[in-house]
Amino acid sequence: MGEYDIAHLAYEIQRIGLGMAGGKQDQYAAAFGGFNFMEFYANDKVIVNPLRIKQEVINELQFNLLLYYTGTSRLSSKIIEAQVEGVKAKKEKPIEAMNKLKEQAFLMKEAILKGKLGEVGEILDFGWQYKKQMAEGITSPVLEEIYEAAKMAGATGGKISGAGGGGFMMFYCPGNSRYKVIEALQKFGGEFRRFQFTKFGAETWRAP
């Protein structure tokens, strides 16, 4: 099976077979690996565009990003369902927020391709401010406090992973500000997790 086939099968199992609410970007990201600009269309068509990024840009991006586990969990499907309901009801705020997040994807693609990493934190912050408007439960007083503490310590922006409400947060910390951010977030009781970018997605093979 090719990458598109694997990703689509994973989507069908999770979203259709198991009835779990959510999008399909995670499945395609896992199947393809690397840096991609993904396009999703209403007719179920998906186009994955691999991005050619200089290794030095990838190295600096990886060094400047911190992955922080907040220590809290949430039922993401409930938040996603609330987002869907907001769009179905044609609520102005959630729809505008989604359009802004689409705009954010284009801004991030250009910044990374051109190696303008100084813009990454600001673009993440731009997206975070709009993501919170998509539905109730995406943020909380604790998450807001963590985010503001990270920015006060030198992070220029960040985001919450997935639907929001808890789980992991990511912060962009230019220069050597990562160390001050790590120190500032110690009081919240979460954990920083190691990560690295990979050029490859899911791999399969046949045993002899």
Catalytic site positions? 26
How far apart (Å, rounded) are the C-alpha atoms in residues 168 and 85?
A: 25
Give the count of beta carbons closer than 10 Å to the beta carbon of residue 93.
12
The CA dihedral of 25, 28, 34, 40, to the nearest 10 degrees, is -60
How far apart (Å, rounded) are the C-alpha atoms in residues 22 and 171?
A: 23
How far apart (Å, rounded) are the C-alpha atoms in residues 155 and 170?
A: 10
Place of tokens 């220069």: 175
